Amino acid sequence: MKDKGMSEEEPLEPPSTRPLLGAVFSEAVPHIGKGVYRKRKTLTVIPFKNNSILPKFRCSQNTLSFRKRFYPDLATTAWNDWRWQLQNRIQDEETLRRLLVLSEDELMALSDPEGRFPVAITPYYASLLSSEDPSQPIRRAVVPVIAERVLSVGEAADPLCEEHDSPVTGLVHRYPDRVLFLVSDYCATYCRYCTRSRMVGQGFGKRPKWRQWENAIAYIAGTPSVRDVLLSGGDPLTLSDENLEWLISRLRGIRHVELIRIGTKAPVVLPQRVTPALVRMLKKYHPLWMSIHFTHPDELTPETNQACERLANGGIPLGSQTVLLAGINDTVETIRRLVHGLIKIRVKPYYLYQCDPIKGSAHVRTSVDKGLEIIEGLRGHTTGYAVPTYVIDAPGGGGKIPLLPDYIKGREGDDLLLRNYLGHIHRYPDPNGRSGDRPWVH
């Protein structure tokens, strides 16, 4: 039966564990308002108290120059503190205008009062954006354009019908043995093609949803078939260590939950979040895996490298998830550079997703042929570990469907005819098989 949601206010504290209580989200991350700069080309920052001692975090030359230019008075310790990065997210046209030369298209989208989906970019990720070129791939991934307002055939707010498979609020139970636990609707940086744009950044996620979390945990505890829990959102790593541990420790306490996974983009847009303290906490709850959302090789910076190194050294297996996007990463060369870079930082390229038909996504969606062409350009041409699985998450809630180029070319007698990565045909003796028969022969 579906939980229709909570009518009462969520409590401010976790229901049963005061000792684990961390800073509630609304205190930790107040929203910045408009007019946050005081003089041209430097941005005023929200006063930030950092009482904790953070270990050193290496910064790239590019990021250092950006900081010197736009935040000249800011201490390195503040820049390298993930809470400062969240407090100072860039969320409005005026602030973005200070950092980038905005195109007409971007300006129209940013000033649109009916803008469909909020804008937020961490100062760190902003440092990677081209100030002059609106067609730069990672800029296109986070700065809105007016095409987002165009609704095309087949698009929907919830194309995967996640709400339909939600037995309690914030939990999607589609496959029998695993659940998707949407623990937050808040992200450090909002991607313009987000599958959950119907809910993320909509302002409900400023603090933990204790009651909702308790209901979801109770459902998992009462459903012995669930052996795998994927924490996602929004981004679970925007929660405090204490609140995240509250969640993970309870899931780990459920006997039939074998695997806990976290889906996050934090190592890419907020690498400072991966502190030694976070890794120390996470490694108490193994087996714990992490899927990291990468879009483009420009995201493979020294900072992201460092975040992934800390996670990998903590024994957390890392996989990447990448959405195939027109004009952003839809060439063999771009994806090859990305997967080669990922392997070097110990992240296994896991999924390449066909972009979901969310509302206003036609301008970033590619043909399926393009995805097959990319897989064809990788398989056999590079290390097998570097080749992700290309999938379509079937609209209507059909789940992930893998797609492969057609390597079976037919059958001659008892021989199966196979095409290799160079296009050569090879035979395999397969006397009892039917593969390669024309479908209408079956």
Choosing from 191, 251, 274, 316, the residue that interacts with ligand SF4 (CB under 6 A) is: 191
Distance, in Å, from the CA atom of 54 to the CA atom of 215, rounded to the nearest integer, reads 35
Q: Determine contact, residues 240/41, Cβ cutoff 8 Å.
A: no
Q: Determine contact, residues 271/306, Cβ cutoff 8 Å.
A: yes
Nearer to ligand SF4, 187 or 248 (CB): 187
User: In angstroms, what is the minimal distance from the CB of 265 to ligand SF4?
Assistant: 4
Q: Per CB under 6 A, does 265 bind ligand SF4?
A: yes
Active site residue 175: yes
Two structure tokens written together for 156:
């929907």
- Annotated catalytic residue, options 191, 219, 365, 411: 191
CB count in 10 Å sphere of residue 118 = 15
Stretches 3-11, 144-152, 166-174, 193-201: which one binds ligand SF4 (CB under 6 A)? Answer: 193-201
Choosing from 200, 260, 278, 364, the residue that interacts with ligand SF4 (CB under 6 A) is: 200
Q: Per CB under 6 A, does 185 bind ligand SF4?
A: no
Q: Residue 380 CA to chain centroid, in angstroms?
A: 28
Stretches 187-195, 215-223, 241-249, 332-340: which one binds ligand SF4 (CB under 6 A)? Answer: 187-195
Active site residue 3: no
Nearer to ligand SF4, 236 or 349 (CB): 236
Q: Per CB under 6 A, does 196 bind ligand SF4?
A: yes
Q: Per CB under 6 A, does 158 bind ligand SF4?
A: no
Nearer to ligand SF4, 180 or 282 (CB): 180
Q: Determine contact, residues 191/265, Cβ cutoff 8 Å.
A: yes
What length does the chain have? Answer: 442
Nearer to ligand SF4, 234 or 341 (CB): 234
Size of the site for ligand SF4 (CB under 6 A): 11
Active site residue 330: no
User: In angstroms, what is the minimal distance from the CB of 187 to ligand SF4?
Assistant: 3
Place of tokens 């195939």: 324
x/- track of binding to ligand SF4 for residues 201-240 (CB under 6 A): --------------------------------xxx-----
Active site residue 178: yes
Q: Per CB under 6 A, does 124 bind ligand SF4?
A: no
Choosing from 71, 82, 84, 190, the residue that interacts with ligand SF4 (CB under 6 A) is: 190
Active site residue 400: yes
Stretches 192-200, 221-229, 420-428, 431-439: which one binds ligand SF4 (CB under 6 A)? Answer: 192-200
Q: Determine contact, residues 241/281, Cβ cutoff 8 Å.
A: yes
The residues that touch ligand SF4, with contacts defined as CB under 6 A, are 187, 190-191, 194, 196, 200, 233-235, 265, 293
Residues labelled catalytic: 174-175, 178, 187, 191, 194, 196, 356, 393, 400
